[in-house]
Structures are given as structure tokens and as C-alpha cells.
Amino acid sequence: MQWNSIGEFFAMGGYALYVWGSFGITALALLIEPLLLRKRQSDVLDSLRRELNADKQQRKPE
């Protein structure tokens, strides 16, 4: 391993901005995309269930 301390690791030989700027934005993008998808899925399911329940209510005899 080429790092002698944690500080040295984060400094990335003076290229911290470039290296962590790349990895940071990539991590953020790969984190946000599945979260948005999970929300999209639960939104569809919610609206489908609401529709289905409304149908059942209508069909129910008084």
C-alpha cells in the first residue's frame, strides 16, 4: 500500500479535487438513480392500488 496516513490518502498526491470530484459525483449519480426508481415504482403501485380500491368501492352493493 502506498499510503502512510489517512491524510495522505485524502490528499491524493495533490490531485484531491480531481480524483474526489470524479468519484464523488459518480457515487452521487449511482446512488440517486436507484432511489428515484424506487420512488417511481412505489408511486405507480400506489396509484394503481388507489384505482383498484375505487373500482371495488363502486362495485360493492349498497
* Site map (CB under 8 A) of other proteins, residues 1-40, x = contact: xxx-----x--xxxx-xxx-xxx-xx--xx--xx--xx-x
Mention every residue, 6+ apart, whose C-beta is less than 8 A from residue 19. Answer: 12
d(CA 10, CA 22): 13
Binding-residue pattern over the window 43 to 62 for other proteins, x denoting contact by CB under 8 A: -xx--xx-xx----------
Q: How far is CA 1 from CA 16, 25, 26, in A?
A: 18, 25, 24
Residues that bind other proteins (CB under 8 A): 1-3, 9, 12-15, 17-19, 21-23, 25-26, 29-30, 33-34, 37-38, 40-41, 44-45, 48-49, 51-52
